[in-house]
């Protein structure tokens, strides 16, 4: 071990388990790629003000969890705590929303940073794959995103998860609800911080995880009783589209996002094998966000799925992904001449698309064969001076132990045949 360790709240992805991590990212991205979403990559840090406005001045993410800093040049930046604000910023900056090409559909994958209390499933550096559909208000778009997230999880073999769904209303009906909720909350026994929250961000109080708060919330006014006709119709259409697609969901009237620019559809994917860090992904409509960051009105919807927690969900369900072995052929040279010749064959095989590795460092036969087995390769290519003198190499099937002599210039073909 070195003098250093990974910083608190972080962990390293190392082989072989890192392969699962990559496969999860890929599985989440695949349905998006297949549905008109283009890949976007934005910087790991942004102007801190973008997050203050785009995530919300009163959220835990901005007030407590953000890695904000000032550069030597005096710029006030923050490591990105989430992906939506950056994605929208980039789309606006590149004018993707102009030219009549709405919705702009984008997906991303990357690292996010939050200064949280580390626990299982909650880290200071974590990974998300996200999707945003910008500039269109259409219940089919909301449904599409939920269907695609569901498809991702299903493709991984996950089944012990639920989709929670709610509507947050819009600029017309939410203020009325907000006022009614504030009236109700002001009458409760709450601590100072929560009382402040009632005034700034009352919907977030519904999301309070504490038992003592939840008990008092029984009988609180529910947004669904305040939805205007347009919001009701919209929500009903989202629900119908999901049902028609065979995607099961649960109505959760307490599911909220506390900021004014979140509107209508909101949803969360929760996994029942994860204990308290049960949210594997979440999202919703954010019709007011573009204007909050200085853009035009662009009703949008999106989600972000947590890669770390999805990997934990796989573990919780005992799912091992069926990943192809990283190496198919492992070459073992015995002696200098064999080293030169086999190294050439390795390069040839790789060019032919066969995943191949080589026993580096002049290992003896026994150690080299151990490495070959450890690599997961199906075949070993072994050659000594005597084989080479005859223009041959030994092709060994590492499962059956069967060994055949193969002419040097037939190696690529024979390997292909053996792997087929």
Per-residue exposure over 236-263, b if at least 16 CB sit within 10 Å of its own CB, e if not: eebbebbeeeebebeebeebbbbbbbbb
In terms of CB distance, is 123 or 161 closer to ligand ATP?
A: 123
Among 122, 195, 239, 363, binds ligand ATP (CB under 6 A): 122
Q: Which of residues 296-325 bind ligand ATP (CB under 6 A)?
A: 304, 306, 308-309
The answer to whether the beta carbons of residues 394 and 387 sit under 8 Å apart is yes
- Nearest distance, CB of residue 314 and ligand ATP, angstroms: 13
End-to-end CA distance of the chain: 42
Closest residue to ligand ATP using C-beta atoms: 306
In terms of CB distance, is 80 or 378 closer to ligand ATP?
A: 80
Only one of the segments 12-20, 151-159, 222-230, 272-280 lies at the binding site for ligand ATP (rule: CB under 6 A); that segment is 272-280
- Nearest distance, CB of residue 14 and ligand ATP, angstroms: 18
By CB under 6 A, tell whether 346 contacts ligand ATP: no
CB atoms within 10 A of CB 226: 18
Residue 305 C-beta-side C-alpha neighbours within 13 Å: 28
Among 277, 348, 384, 412, binds ligand ATP (CB under 6 A): 277
- Nearest distance, CB of residue 194 and ligand ATP, angstroms: 17
353: left (phi over 0), alpha (psi -120 to 50) or beta: left
Among 133, 148, 205, 280, binds ligand ATP (CB under 6 A): 280
Residue 324 tokens, joined = 């192809």
Q: What is the DSSP string of 62-104?
A: HHTS--EEE-TT--EEEE-S-SHHHHHHHHHHTTTT-SS-PSE
- Nearest distance, CB of residue 277 and ligand ATP, angstroms: 6
Nearest to residue 24, comparing CAs of 120, 132, 126, 164?
A: 126
By CB under 6 A, tell whether 59 contacts ligand ATP: no
In terms of CB distance, is 200 or 351 closer to ligand ATP?
A: 200
Among 42, 109, 128, 151, binds ligand ATP (CB under 6 A): 128
Among 10, 19, 102, 116, binds ligand ATP (CB under 6 A): 116
Name the percent of the chain in helix, strand, coil, to the closest 5: 40, 20, 40
Residues of this chain that bind ligand ATP (CB under 6 A): 82, 114, 116, 121-123, 126, 128, 277, 279-282, 304, 306, 308-309
């Amino acid at each position: 071990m070195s003098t250093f360790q990974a910083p608190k709240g972080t962990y390293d992805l190392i082989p072989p388990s890192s392969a699962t991590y990559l496969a999860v990212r890929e599985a989440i991205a695949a349905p998006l790629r297949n549905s008109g979403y283009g890949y976007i990559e934005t910087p790991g840090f942004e102007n801190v003000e973008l997050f203050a406005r785009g995530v919300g001045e009163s959220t835990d993410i901005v007030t407590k969890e953000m890695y904000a800093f000032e550069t030597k040049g005096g710029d006030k930046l923050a490591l990105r705590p989430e992906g939506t604000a950056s994605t929208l910023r980039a789309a606006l900056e590149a004018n993707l929303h102009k030219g009549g090409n709405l919705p702009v559909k984008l997906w991303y994958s990357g690292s996010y940073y939050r200064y949280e209390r580390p626990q299982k499933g909650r880290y200071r550096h974590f990974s998300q794959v996200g999707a945003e559909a910008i500039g269109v208000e259409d219940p089919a778009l909301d449904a599409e995103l939920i269907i695609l997230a569901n498809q991702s999880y299903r493709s991984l073999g996950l089944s012990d998860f639920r989709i929670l769904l709610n509507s947050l209303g819009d600029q017309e009906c939410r203020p009325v609800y907000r006022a009614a909720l504030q009236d109700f909350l002001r009458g409760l026994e709450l601590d100072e911080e929560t009382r402040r929250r009632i005034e700034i961000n009352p919907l977030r109080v519904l999301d309070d995880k504490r038992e003592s708060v939840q008990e008092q919330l029984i009988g609180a006014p529910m947004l669904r009783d305040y939805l205007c006709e347009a919001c009701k119709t919209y929500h009903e259409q989202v629900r119908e589209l999901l049902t028609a697609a065979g995607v099961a969901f649960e109505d959760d009237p307490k599911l909220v996002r506390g900021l004014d620019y979140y509107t209508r559809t909101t949803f969360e994917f929760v996994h029942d094998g994860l204990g308290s860090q049960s949210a594997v992904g979440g999202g919703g409509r954010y019709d007011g966000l573009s204007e909050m960051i200085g853009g035009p009105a662009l009703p949008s919807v999106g989600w972000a799925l947590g890669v770390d927690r999805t990997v934990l969900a796989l573990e919780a369900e005992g799912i091992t992904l069926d990943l192809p072995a990283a190496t198919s052929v492992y070459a073992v040279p015995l002696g200098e001449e064999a080293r030169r010749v086999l190294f050439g064959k390795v390069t040839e095989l790789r060019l032919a698309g066969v995943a191949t590795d080589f026993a580096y460092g002049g290992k003896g036969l026994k150690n080299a064969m151990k490495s070959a087995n450890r690599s997961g390769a199906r075949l070993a290519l072994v050659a000594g001076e005597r084989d080479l003198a005859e223009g041959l190499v030994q092709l060994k099937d590492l499962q059956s132990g069967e060994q055949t002599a193969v002419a040097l210039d037939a190696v690529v073909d024979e390997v292909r045949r053996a792997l087929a």
